[in-house]
Amino acid sequence: MRSFQCVAMGFALSALMAAGATRAGAEDESLGVRLVNQMNALYGRHPGVRANHAKGAVFEGTFTPAQGADALSSAVFLKGAPTPLVIRFSNAGGVPDAPDTDPSTDRIRGMAIKFHLPDRSEQDMI
């Protein structure tokens, strides 16, 4: 619960920053930069590592749609042929070497999928 409170506080502080209650010079930084800076303030700076969902595992595979799935959506990856994909599972938080059971993750997990479509474009699902 404590880590959830820390994350909630971080987002609240980020909202304040976006609203104009910022440190000197921060108004010159984009919202994305300010959010990453806030995450680094919460979890520490880890060069070369994401500011959030820092620990994860990446897998490659193939998605094969169920028969009739194309009737439910216009998504290209539901239109027949199997589609190659990359999928990443991650823990919340910005500490890359935190154990999966660490309270800093608050048992929050992430999943992102990148479909590699036949026309060489990509479609992301987060």
Of 53, 54, 92, 115, the active-site residue reads: 53
Strand stretches in 9-96, DSSP E: 56-63, 83-91
53 labelled catalytic:
yes
Q: Which of 34, 36, 124 is nearest to 83 (CA)?
A: 124
Helix axes 2-19, 31-43, angle to 10 degrees: 150
Other residues' Cβ atoms within 10 Å of the Cβ of residue 75: 15
Residues designated as active site: 53
